[in-house]
Amino acid sequence: MKTSFESTLNERDLTKIYLAQLGDEKSMIDLVNKYKAAIMTAASKYAEEYGMEDCVAEAQCAFIERVYNADYTDLRKFRSMLTKELADTVATNLNPYGLSRRRMAQVNDLPCIEPMGELSTLSFTEGDDSEISLKLQAVMADVLTDIEMDMVLNWMFSPNRTDDEAAADAGVSRRTYRRDLSVAFAKIREGL
């Protein structure tokens, strides 16, 4: 049973949600400050993997989006699963690959991709049965450095390998490995 004090606090939160949806910055800041513990808990779940600063920023953005989409008449619905959903959004938005490599390895519908071998020996002909399209092969050869090519190919053909293992093999930190891999994928996207 709710006390009148709890009821008053809930009404204040609902009012602030409503005002924030109308564009009141002070109400939004008050809500972010009030739910800071949930935001920080969600951010800390992936802080080791993606960095605390980035995780906090993503969690705050996810929280603000949740405020804008909330039903300002139902605080229970707004609060339910708040931390979990914020953490899920952090992981989704900060993952530079889209699907995790482990998840890709578990997808049975994807065709098995055979390693391409040395790009210098590849023939880019129409009859090539490679699982990687000719266009992708050409773009990768054109836009990637040798180191980036090795990183992308290792990522593609070793889905169960962790980033820590790949970074150790490359002789760089995990953060540097992830950044360099993201840059390589961005080059490929722009080339396509």
Question: Where are the strands (E) in 126-180, listed by range?
Answer: none
Residue 153 near residue 171, CB atoms below 8 Å: no
Mean pLDDT of the chain: 76
Residue 185 near residue 97, CB atoms below 8 Å: yes
Question: Where are the strands (E) in the chain, listed by range?
Answer: none
Residues with Cβ within 8 Å of 141's Cβ and at least 6 positions away in sequence, in order, are 119, 122, 149
Closest to 90 (Cα-Cα) out of 49, 138, 150, 124:
49
Among 57-61, 116-120, 167-171, 180-184, whose mean pLDDT is lowest? 116-120
The pTM is what?
A: 0.49
Q: For residue 96, what pLDDT is reported?
A: 60
Q: For residue 63, what pLDDT is reported?
A: 92
Give the pLDDT confidence of 20-77 residue by residue, as tens digits: 888 889 999 999 999 999 999 999 998 888 888 888 988 999 999 999 988 878 888 8
Going from the N-terminus, what domains does the chain have, and what CATH number goes with each? 4-94 (1.10.1740), 101-191 (1.10.10)
What is the b/e burial string over 30-42, where b = at least 16 CB atoms within 10 angstroms of the residue's CB?
bbeeebeebbbeb
Rounded Cα–Cα distance for residues 75 and 192 (Å): 46
Residues with Cβ within 8 Å of 75's Cβ and at least 6 positions away in sequence, in order, are 10, 13, 14, 17
What is the b/e burial string over 45-77, where b = at least 16 CB atoms within 10 angstroms of the residue's CB?
bbbebbeeebbbebbbebbeebbeebebeebee
**87 pLDDT exceeds 70?**
yes
Closest to 12 (Cα-Cα) out of 30, 32, 36, 38:
30
